[in-house]
Structure formats: C-alpha cells, structure tokens
Amino acid sequence: MNTPYIRQKYSTKSLYQSLQKLLNRAPVHIALLAISVIWTLPTVGLFISSLRHRDELLKTGWWTVFQHPFDFTQYQLGNYIDVLSAEGMGQAFLNSFIIAIPATVIPIAIATFAAYAFAWMKFPGRQILFIVVVGLLVVPLQMTLIPVLRAYNQFGLSGTFLGIWLAHTGYGLPLGIYLLRNYIGSLPKDLIEAAAVDGASHLTTFTRLILPLSMPAIASFAVFQFLWVWNDLLVALVYLGGTPDVAPLTMRLTSLVGSRGEAWQILTSGAFITMIVPLMVFFSLQRYFVRGILAGSVKG
C-alpha cells in the first residue's frame, strides 16, 4: 500500500472538513462580532466623553478624537476629580452600599424559602399562589409608587433605609421566586426523597441539600438584584425624597448635574465611577451566573 498517499489523502480531507466547518460558522461569528461592537460602542463613547473638556464636548462628537488618537492634550481627568471631590459623594457612596446589600440579601433569603416551598412542599393553593407570583412579574412598579408612598407616610417609613429595603424587596421577590423555583424544582427528586426517608425535616433538607446545590441560581439572582438596586434612581427618589443623609450615589449625581442639565458632562465620569462596584460583583459571581440561568430555564 502507498502509505504516504493515504496519509496525504486523509490530511487533505480533514483540512477540507475543517474549512467547511469554519465557513458554516462564519455567519454566526460575524453576527456575534457585529452585535458585540454595536453593544459596546455607546460605552466606548461614554468613556471618551468622560475624559474630554466641556467645551470640546459641546462643539464636536466623541468620535472626532480618532482623527488625532495620540493627541493626549485633548484628554483630562478634571471631570473625575469634580465628581470624587464633590461634597457628599463619600456619604452617598456609603449610602448606596447600605441600601444595596440588605436590599439584595433580604429578597434572596425570602425567595429561596418560598421557592423551596413551591417546588417540593404540598399545601392547598400552591399552584394558584405561584400563578399570582408569576403575574406580578408583568405589573409595572410605577403603578405601586403612589399607594406605597402614602402607606409609608402613614407609618413613618418615608425617607428611611428600612422603607427602601422593603420596597426593593417587594419589587425583586417575584423574579427571585420564579427563577429559584425553576432551578430548585429541576433538582433530582431522588435526593429529596432519600433525605425524607432518612428522617430529614424540610428545614434540614433545605439547609443541607437545597442551599448548596442552588448556589448558581442564588448567585444569578444576586447579580440581577444588586445591579438593579445599585443603579436605581426612581425608587430611591420617590421613597427617600430629598433627604441628603440617606441619598444614594445616583441621587447625588443628579444633584451635581442640576435640574437643567447644565453640567451633564459630569454624568459621563460619574457613570464609570458607579460602574466599578457592579463590575466587581458581576465578575466575582460570573462562574455561577450562566449555570444558574441555563439550569433554571431548562426544566421547571
């Protein structure tokens, strides 16, 4: 047999198959690349605008910097210095943590217990209650602002951290229960039955089995909830009002810009300052994020 010829033939066939697979996947790769460029383009423009002088921002667009990309005189850090050195920014940064951390932990704790009950506990009206929870996902939170604010004024919760914690907990629970219930319901039934046969109570099963196995879904919901609370302005503005002692970072930035937007260039640098903490949270929980979303959406 002509061994070198056979090897060359199979090598050519393998190369042809590899090229064919590459060509078949090329449209998908090109589409993903185009989507990535379009998605990141506003962020790039925002970052470039945060480094430009105010007068240049009013005259030309951010894309004009590419005409002279190595002219570093057109960049400055003054916008960032103005934001960081502004009065009350340190307290606002601390207030954002005080609001975001409990407003993330409280709904996670409640939603995890509720999700386990909906998935593995038998009680009257379980399906109806779950349908109500799913229905709350489509209710706009704007419809609840005035009724809840009136209740807060009666109970003295307006302008307090407790009031904003309860508000974010209520708004985040429907999504948390739905997401975690789908994930917990997809866990192997044999594990739950084996724990019951061994005499484990629901609390023991929940703490020893459900919580460790549900960490991907819990981390996914934690990312969603923390990012929403950290970047929130509407809920904080309504329930905290103009109280400067409890104002978060988003409210403080709006006061720096002014009601007429005369200092809007500060928003560009302020946006990147507020992005630091959410990015740290996302990348620290990234390994759980995709697993939790996929597993919770396959089987429910």
**Domain extent listing, the chain:** 3-76, 83-298
Radius of gyration of the chain (CA): 26
**What pLDDT, on the 0 to 100 scale, is given for residue 161?**
93
Residue type, 196: A
CA atoms in the 13 A half-sphere facing the CB of 95: 24
> Which tokens in the block code for residue 286?
């990234």
Please, are residues 149 and 238 in contact by the beta-carbon 8 Å criterion?
yes
Compute the distance between CA of residue 33 and CA of residue 39 in angstroms, rounded to an integer: 10
Residues facing 52 on adjacent strands: 75
Q: Would you call 285 helix, strand, or coil by DSSP?
A: coil
Q: Is CATH 1.10.3720.10 what the domain over 83-298 is classified as, yes or no?
A: yes
**What pLDDT, on the 0 to 100 scale, is given for residue 113?**
93
> Which tokens in the block code for residue 164?
């904003």
Q: Would you call 242 helix, strand, or coil by DSSP?
A: coil
155-161: which pairs have CB atoms within 8 A and are 24 or more residues apart?
157/239, 158/239, 158/240, 158/241, 159/239, 159/240, 159/241, 159/243, 159/246, 160/246, 161/98, 161/99, 161/102, 161/246
Per-residue pLDDT of the chain (300 residues; tens, 9 = 90+): 445 544 455 456 566 666 677 777 778 778 888 898 888 888 888 888 888 777 777 777 778 777 776 665 656 677 788 777 776 788 888 999 999 999 999 999 999 999 999 988 888 888 899 999 989 888 888 899 999 999 999 998 998 999 999 999 999 999 999 989 988 888 888 888 888 888 888 888 888 888 888 888 898 889 889 999 999 989 999 998 877 788 898 888 877 766 545 566 677 788 888 888 888 887 877 776 666 555 544 444
**What pLDDT, on the 0 to 100 scale, is given for residue 299?**
46
Compute the distance between CA of residue 163 and CA of residue 238 in angstroms, rounded to an integer: 11
Statement: the pTM of the whole predicted model exceeds 0.85: no
**What pLDDT, on the 0 to 100 scale, is given for residue 289?**
64
